[in-house]
């Protein structure tokens, strides 16, 4: 098994995987808001901090 460090370079692949996993059973989360997803993924992985405010 090969381990690789993930970072901001893989953000789009991480987003795609995250959405494919968490929008189905048992979670059924709604990740259709691209702006919300863009803010959440980097913070979740610690890639970089969230902006001070999130405005829709």
Place of tokens 């405005």: 55
pLDDT of amino acid 38: 87
- How do residues 1-56 score in pLDDT, each as one tens digit? 888 777 778 889 889 999 999 999 999 999 999 999 988 887 765 555 545 554 44
pTM of the model: 0.68
Residue ranges covered by each domain of the chain: 8-45
Output the six-digit token pair for 47.
């890639």
């Amino acid at each position: 098994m090969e381990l690789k460090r993930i970072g901001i370079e893989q953000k789009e692949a991480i987003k795609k995987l995250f959405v494919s996993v968490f929008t189905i059973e048992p979670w059924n989360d709604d990740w259709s808001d691209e702006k919300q997803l863009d803010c959440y993924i980097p913070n979740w992985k610690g890639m970089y901090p969230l902006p001070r405010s999130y405005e829709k």
